[in-house]
Amino acid sequence: MQILLIRHGESEDDFLEKDYTGSTDLPLTSKGLIQVKKMSNRVLNEFPPDFIWSSTLKRASKAAEILSNTIGCPVEYLDDLIEKQETESKLEFKVRGEQIFSFIKENSKEFNRIAIISHGGMITKIIESFLQLPTVNNNVWFNSDNTGIHLLEYIRNVQLIRFTNSTSHLN
């Protein structure tokens, strides 16, 4: 199975204070909508998914809606794909990321390729889970620019990262 991890486009959240954690629920900007349309066309042409899972926050759910309409495939919205919350510890966030990724894998067995539309922090937690990285002293961050695409794949018993944070569709 192939897994596209896609960060939403530019949102009004991007212009909040420097130490912002991602817990507000603001929409995409007009630039973010353009980014998402470009990403959606690229995904349609290069690696269309059979199913989309999305965060329920406005910036991600709108990106998922646009991608779903472009490709013509179903989307399901999951609260657990939202960004790290201010009330959540790093460990709680990591555990949530592992649990939601496990749920998605279990419920995506019938698909060859899925897309997950989420946020930078959650994408990092999903990649950590995919790679089975340890929890203790883990300070890894996988950068995800606006509409950055990561392509992960399970081939037999091997986890393969085909590419990370690709934004060539924005050029």
CA-closest candidate to residue 13, choices 29, 23, 26, 30: 26
Are residues 170 and 147 in contact, defined by beta-carbon separation less than 8 angstroms? yes
pLDDT given for residue 23 in this prediction: 67
85: Cα within 13 Å, side-chain hemisphere: 11
For each of the chain's 171 residues, which pLDDT tens digit applies?
999 999 999 998 766 555 555 567 889 999 999 999 999 999 999 999 999 999 999 999 999 999 999 999 999 999 999 999 989 998 899 999 999 999 999 999 999 999 999 999 999 999 999 999 887 667 888 999 999 999 999 998 899 999 999 999 999
Residues 6+ apart with CB under 8 A from 69: none
pLDDT given for residue 24 in this prediction: 79
Give how far the C-alpha of residue 171 lies from the chain's centroid of Cα atoms, to the nearest Å.
21
End-to-end Cα distance, the chain: 28
Separation of alpha carbons 59 and 154, rounded Å: 28
SS3 of the chain: CEEEEEECCCEHHHHCCCCCCCCCCCCECHHHHHHHHHHHHHHHHHCCCCEEEEECCHHHHHHHHHHHHHHCCCEEEEHHHCCCCCCCCHHHHHHHHHHHHHHHHHCCCCCCEEEEEECHHHHHHHHHHHHCCCCCCCCCCCCCCCCCEEEEEEECCEEEEEEEEECHHHC
Rounded to two decimals, the pTM is: 0.94
pLDDT given for residue 147 in this prediction: 98
